[in-house]
Amino acid sequence: METPITSRDLSDMVRHWLACPVNGYLGAGYGCEVKSLLQTPMSAGLADDLISKAREDVPLLSRTAAGALNVYAYDRDFETKVIAFEIGGQLIDIGAVA
C-alpha cells in the first residue's frame, strides 16, 4: 500500500532544504543560501530563482502545479520584513528556518 505525500510532507522537505547550506552534502549543490537571500534587496527579484532552485533540488516540487510554490515578503511590524515560502497553502518563514 502506498502512502500519499501530503502538502505537510512537502513543506517539511522545503524546511530541510532551506536549513541546509549549498553544497552541504558532498558532491551535491543541494541547499539554499538563505542568509545571503535575507541580505539581498527585495528589488533584486530573486523569488523566481529561489523557486527554480527548490524545484531542482527537491524533485517532488517539480511535479507541483505552477501556482503551488510562491515566495512572499510582508511587514511583520514597522521594522521587520518577513520573507516566506508558500507551498500548498502553508507559509514557511525563511528567516525562522535559517
Question: What does the pLDDT read at residue 98?
Answer: 57
Q: What is the pLDDT of residues 35-72, one digit of tens each?
A: 777 677 766 777 888 888 999 999 998 888 888 888 88
Residues 6+ apart with CB under 8 A from 37: 46, 50, 83, 94
E strand or H helix at 11: helix 7-19
Q: Do residues 94 and 14 touch, judged by C-beta distance below 8 A?
A: no
Mean pLDDT score of the chain: 83
Query: In this predicted model, which residue has the larger pLDDT, 98 or 48?
Result: 48
Question: What does the pLDDT read at residue 57?
Answer: 93
Question: What does the pLDDT read at residue 77?
Answer: 86
Measured in residues, the chain has a length of: 98
Predicted TM-score (pTM) of the model is 0.81
Closest Cα to residue 19, out of 30, 8, 5? 30
Query: What percentage of residues in the chain have a pLDDT greater than 70?
Result: 95
Q: How far is CA 37 from CA 8, 9, 87, in A?
A: 24, 24, 18
Q: Do residues 52 and 64 touch, judged by C-beta distance below 8 A?
A: no
Query: In this predicted model, which residue has the larger pLDDT, 61 or 26?
Result: 61
